Amino acid sequence: MRLAADDVTRSLIASWRLLTADARALPDLDLSRDGFWRSYLALILTIPSMIPVLAAERTLAGLSNSGGLFDAPGLLAAVVTAEMLAVLTVPALLVGIAPNLTHNPRFTGFIIIWNWSAILSAGLMAVPATVFALGWSNPGIAAFQTLAFATIVLRLRYCVARAAFGPESGVAGAVACASLLADYAVIQTFGLAGF
């Protein structure tokens, strides 16, 4: 199983279209069983967005980024783990709260859409981290920018759930709230700034 460039491009464009609540983007995603597993493989594409987040967290911790980004293994592990938990927590909560949901074909579609949109979410959150790590903003401005981009990510997650489960299900709002709470819990657990 591999990721083809056209699959990646099509899936990321579909994720972006979902941000505008365009559920017609769903057919652009591979919602098959292979597409399900490929969506997890696609999470590798979140790795580049971890670099500015790591640099920003190092800056906040008073560490220099010029000597090397990877000389604080604890901080590196915290950033990578937090990024992965940001993607995996909400689906895991849904499985724990409503195990019968896993038999619903819409749940499989949700996981696929959620995983692909995670790449877009991570990229969006890397923007304020990059600006801060480069020294173009102070912690106060960075917090405001992070909040603004987090609002966009929250909207994306709401639209993903709405597209997957339908507007009439009422699940979209619950998923968006759960993702907000899960992200906050992960950030607090690892003592990160939340880029």
Task: Look at residue 121 and tell me if it is in a domain.
Answer: yes
Task: Look at residue 141 and tell me if it is in a domain.
Answer: yes
For the segment 180-184, the average pLDDT, to the nearest whole number, is: 91
Mean per-residue pLDDT of the chain: 88
Counting residues of the chain whose pLDDT is more than 70, the rounded percentage is 99
pLDDT level of residue 117 (50, 70, 90 thresholds): very high
Task: Look at residue 195 and tell me if it is in a domain.
Answer: no
Task: Look at residue 183 and tell me if it is in a domain.
Answer: yes
Give the pLDDT confidence score for residue 1 in this predicted structure: 65
Task: Look at residue 79 and tell me if it is in a domain.
Answer: yes
Provide Rg for the chain, Cα atoms. 17
- Extended strands (E) in 65-192: none
pLDDT in tens, 19-44: 777 777 777 888 888 888 889 988 89
Angle of CA points 59, 142, 149, to nearest 5°: 125
Contact 112, 31 (CB under 8 A): yes
Q: What total of structural domains would you count in the chain?
A: 1
Q: What is the rounded distance in angstroms from the CA atom of residue 81 to the CA atom of residue 96?
A: 20
Angle of CA points 164, 170, 176, to nearest 5°: 70
Contact 76, 70 (CB under 8 A): yes
Task: Look at residue 122 and tell me if it is in a domain.
Answer: yes
The parent domain of residue 76 ranges over 5-190
pLDDT level of residue 84 (50, 70, 90 thresholds): very high
